[in-house]
Amino acid sequence: MFPVSLMLLLPELLLVLCSSEDDQHICTEKSVAHSRGDVVIAGFFPFYSWEWLQNINDLVVQQQSIQMNLKKYQLLLTLVLAVEEINKNPHLLLNMTLGFEIYSAHCRDTDLLEDVLIWLSGKNKNNPNYTCKRDSKALAVLTGTSSTSVPIGTLLDLYKLPQFTFGSFDPLLSDHGKFGTIYQMAAKDSALALAMVSLMLHFSWTWVGLFITEDDYGVWFLLELRDEMDKNGVCLAFENMITYHTISDLSNDLSIHRQLMESSTNVIIIYGDSKLLLSFILKLGHFLIIGKVWVMNSPYDDVTIDTLSKNSGDNSLPRSWIQSVYCLLIKSDCRDLGHCSYNATLHWLLRHIFDMTMSEESYNIYNAVYALAHALHQMVLHHMEQLPVHIAQPRAFLSSQLHPFLKKIQFTNPVGDQVILNEERKLEAEYDIMSFWNFPDGLGQSVKVGKFSSFSPRDQQLTLFENLIEWPIGITKTPRSVCTESCGPGFRKTSLEGNAVCCFDCTPCSENEISNVSDMEQCVRCPDYQLANTERNTCLLKTESFLAYEDPLGMSLACTALCCSALTAAVLGVFIKHQDTPIVKANNRALSYILLISLTCCFLCSLLFLGRPHTASCILQHTTFAVVFTVAVSTILAKTITVVLAFTLTAPGRSMRQWLVSQAPKLIIPICTLIQVTLCGLWLGISPPFVDRDAHSEHGHVIILCNMGSLTAFYCVLGYLGFLALSSFTMAFLVRNLPDTFNEAKFLTFSMLVFCSVWLTFLPVYHSTKGKVMVAVEVFSILVSSGGLLGCIFAPKCYIILIRPERNSLSRFRERS
C-alpha cells in the first residue's frame, strides 16, 4: 500500500468520460466510464451501497434506500493511474495500448449478473451466449468481494476469461477445480484466525463470545478459529450464526441482549462482511462502548451511515459535492454537466471526499492491471518467436492462452513490492489492528494500534501499542475475560466434566510436587534430592544426613571407641608388665597379646563409620571390620583349641603334646585370616562398596551412606565371621568344666556367648533402621561385641594381677591345684 496523489487524475478522468462525440458515453451505455485500447480490461466496481437510518433514541435500524458510496470511486481513479502508467511505458506493452470498461456492480444478488451478461452480449442487451460486440477487445475482468466474484467467476469460466479479484482473500476461491480462471490479488488471508487468537493471548483473554455469518466463508473461518483456539487454550463462551434476517428479527434482539448480559465473557468476536458488521453494531451500539470489547475482522467504512445530527446544516457542503459528482459520473450526459452544482473547490473535494492514500482494494487493482500487462508482454514475446510476424493473433486465442503466463507471473511493481499470483508461493497477509476511538457528538475514528505478520518469527508476529487503545466506557485498564481465574503457583488445573477446558478448578499440588507458573495442567515432582516448600512453588535442596562427629550421638560413640581402645591398650600394657607371672604365662601370653591388639583395632575401626562417607571410608569400613574381627575370633578359637589340647592330649608323649599345643595357634590364626582376606578381595573385585544417597527414608533429608555393593559378598564375609564365632563358642563350651586354676574356657565361652548374642540381635535391628540410626546400630554392635570380649576374657585376669596379686603366684597355683 502506498500514497498517491489524485489531484491531477480527476480532470483527466473527466476528459476520458467526455472526450469526443465519437465515443459511446455513459449516457448511452451501461458503463460508468471507458477508455479505448488495443486490449481492454473490464471492471465491475461496487459504487452503490445500502443506506441505513439510525434512530438513536430507540436503536431501531431500518433499510431506507440504496445510495452511492463515493469512496469507492478511488478504485476507478487507481485503474486510470495504472493504465496510464502502462501505456506510457514503452518497454512493457510492445506497440499496444491498454484500455478499460468500468461497470457498477449491483447491490442486489438478483441483479448481480445483469451487467456482466450485457457486457458479454453488447448493445445494451442481455442475450446469454450471444454477442453483438464482434470487435470486443476485452481480455480480463476485475471484480470485488467474494459475493460478486463467485457468481461472476462461474459465468466467466465458461469463456475462459481471466478474472482478477481485488477484494479480501477468500479461501473458497482457492478451489482451482471450480474457479480455474480466478486470480486473487490480495495477500493470503488464511492467518486471520491465528491473528485473532494471538490478540486474545496477548491480553490473556481465554473466554470469548462469537457472532459469525451463516455462510460458507463463515463456516470455514469457524473451523480455522476453533483449531487455533484449541491449540492455544482459548474457549468460546457461546457462538451464534447470524444473518440479515436474524438482525431484523426483534425476538432475536432480545435473545442476543439476554445472552450478552448473562455471559461472563467481556470480549466478543464478530465475523462477517462490512454491511453485516455495521447493521449488527447499530443494533447493539451501547454494548460497543460500555462494558464489552468487540473484535471485528474488517472495517466498515465502505458502508454509508447517516446519523441524525442536531445541526443538519453542517453537512450541506459535503452533500452538495456528493450530488455533484453523482451527477457527473452516473446520471448526466456530457451536455448536462452545467446542471451540476460547483459551490466548492476541487481541492476540497479531493481532500474530504477522496482518501489521499491508496486503499488496499485500490492497491490490488493497481497490481492486477500490471499483472495483466506483464503476462500479456510475455505471451506476445512467446508467440512472436513461434509465429511469423505478419500472421494476426485472434482475440479468442489471446484470452484463452493467457492463463499459463498468469499462473507463473512474478514481478516487482513500480513501488518496489513483489507481486506473485501463484497462491502456493504468495505471502500471508499482514493485518493492521485498529482501535475505534469514540469521540463526543457521535463521531468516531479508527486508529492503528498494531499489526500482525504471520511470516515473522513466532514471538515477533504481533506488534501492539497498548497506550493507543481506548477501552470501552467504564473500563480504566485492560479488561479481563476468563471463565476461571488463573491457578497460581502451587496449584494445578483440574478439568470439570462437561465444561470447556477454560473452566476448571484449582487443586493444590500433592506432597513434594510443585507448580512454579500459573495454569499448569500437571504439577512437577521435585527431584529425589530436593523437597517442595510449603507453598508448593519451588524445590529446595534436602538436608544431607549422616552420622557426623559433631552430632551428640556420633561424638558419644567416638569417645566410647577411643576410651575402649585406650583401655585395651592399658590392659595390654599390664599384661606385658606382668608377662612372667603365672596367670599370664598359663593363658598363652602370645595369643593374649594378639587378641588385645586385634580388640584395640576393633574399637578403632568403628571410627570409620563416623563422618561423611567417601569412597575410601566405604571400602575400609567393612573390610577392616571383617579382618580385625576375624583375627580376634580366630585368636579366641586358637585359645580354645590350646586349652583342649593341653588337657586332653596324653599320647604319644609329653614332647609331642607340647609341640602340638605350641604350634596349633600359629596355624589357626593365619589360615582363618587368609580365608577372610580372600573373601574381602573377591568382594572388592566383584562389586565394591560405594557412596550412595537415600532420598526416601527420611522426609526432607538425603542420607549419605555406603552402599554395600554386592550383598552376596557382604553376607559371605559376615557368615564366615559368624561361623568362626560359633565354632569358638562350641569349642569353649565343651571344655568349660576342665579342672585347672588358670583354665579360661569358661571365660571364653561366656565372651563368645556375648559376641554371638550381639550380632544375632544386630541383624534384624540393622535392617529395620535407616540413616544415622542404622550406622549407630552397627557402631554400637562393634563396640559392645569388642567390649564383651575384652571384659569377659581379661577383666578377671586384670583383677587378679592388679587387685589380688597374692593369687598370681606359683605356690598359690599349687595350693589351688
624's grid cell: 577392616
The reply to whether 192-297+431-468 shares the fold of 9-168+309-425 is: yes
Dist CA 8 CA 347 (whole Å): 10
Using DSSP bridges, classify how beta strands 60-68 and 48-55 pair: parallel, antiparallel or unpaired.
antiparallel
Using DSSP bridges, classify how beta strands 462-464 and 491-495 pair: parallel, antiparallel or unpaired.
unpaired
Nearest to 419 by CA among 375, 358, 356, 452: 375
Report cis status (omega within 30 of 0) of the bond before 652.
yes
The fourth-level CATH superfamily of domain 192-297+431-468 is Response regulator (3.40.50.2300)
416's grid cell: 518496489
For 588, 740, 743, 798, 810, the CA distances from 815, given in Å and listed in that order, are 21, 11, 15, 21, 9
**Residues across the chain:** 817
Nearest to 16 by CA among 350, 336, 353, 329: 329
Dist CA 457 CA 326 (whole Å): 48
Average pLDDT, consecutive stretches of 10 residues, N- to C-terminus, the chain (817 residues): 37 37 37 78 75 44 54 81 90 85 66 65 57 65 73 71 83 75 81 90 90 82 90 89 68 71 85 74 62 73 39 38 41 39 45 60 90 88 69 54 85 86 75 73 69 84 85 76 88 86 90 88 88 89 86 91 92 88 80 90 91 90 90 87 68 54 74 92 91 81 86 89 87 70 70 84 80 86 89 86 77 54
Cα-trace Rg, the chain = 52
333's grid cell: 450526459
Dist CA 610 CA 558 (whole Å): 8
> How much is the pLDDT for 24?
33
Show me where the domains of the chain are located.
9-168+309-425, 192-297+431-468, 491-541, 552-816
CB 670 within 8 A of CB 701: no
CB 105 within 8 A of CB 44: yes
**Segment holding 368, helix H or strand E:** helix 360-386
Dist CA 169 CA 189 (whole Å): 5
**Segment holding 366, helix H or strand E:** helix 360-386
Angle subtended by helix axes 360-386 and 73-88, to nearest 10: 30
Q: Edge to edge, what strands does the sheet with 304-307 contain? A: 60-68, 48-55, 304-307
Q: Which class is 552-816 in CATH?
A: mainly alpha
Handedness of CA 89, 91, 92, 95 (dihedral sign): positive
385's grid cell: 518467436
The DSSP output letter for 801 is I
CB 188 within 8 A of CB 364: no
Nearest to 721 by CA among 756, 749, 768, 684: 756
The reported pTM is 0.57
SS3 at position 543: strand
Nearest to 622 by CA among 775, 725, 786, 789: 775
Question: What are the φ/ψ torsions at residue 91 (nearest 5 degrees)?
Answer: -100, -5
SS3 at position 470: coil
Alpha helices in 506-588 (DSSP H): 552-577, 582-586
Using DSSP bridges, classify how beta strands 491-495 and 504-508 pair: parallel, antiparallel or unpaired.
antiparallel
**Residues sharing a CB contact under 8 Å with residue 489, sequence separation 6 or more, in sequence order:** 514, 515, 516, 517, 518, 535, 536, 537
Q: Which CATH architecture has domain 9-168+309-425?
A: 3-Layer(aba) Sandwich (3.40)
Dist CA 35 CA 76 (whole Å): 12
Residue with cell 492491471: 369
CB 134 within 8 A of CB 396: no
Burial of residue 815, with CB atoms counted within 10 A of its CB: 0-12 exposed, 13-18 middle, 19 or more buried: exposed
Question: For the chain, first and last CA: distance in Å?
Answer: 129
CB 370 within 8 A of CB 411: yes
Dist CA 267 CA 283 (whole Å): 17
**Segment holding 225, helix H or strand E:** helix 216-232
CB 324 within 8 A of CB 341: yes
Extended beta strands in 640-729, E state: 690-694, 701-707
CB 735 within 8 A of CB 640: yes
For 52, 130, 150, 272, the CA distances from 112, given in Å and listed in that order, are 21, 19, 11, 20
569's grid cell: 591398650
- CA 163 to chain CA centroid, Å, is 43
Burial of residue 497, with CB atoms counted within 10 A of its CB: 0-12 exposed, 13-18 middle, 19 or more buried: exposed
SS3 at position 313: helix
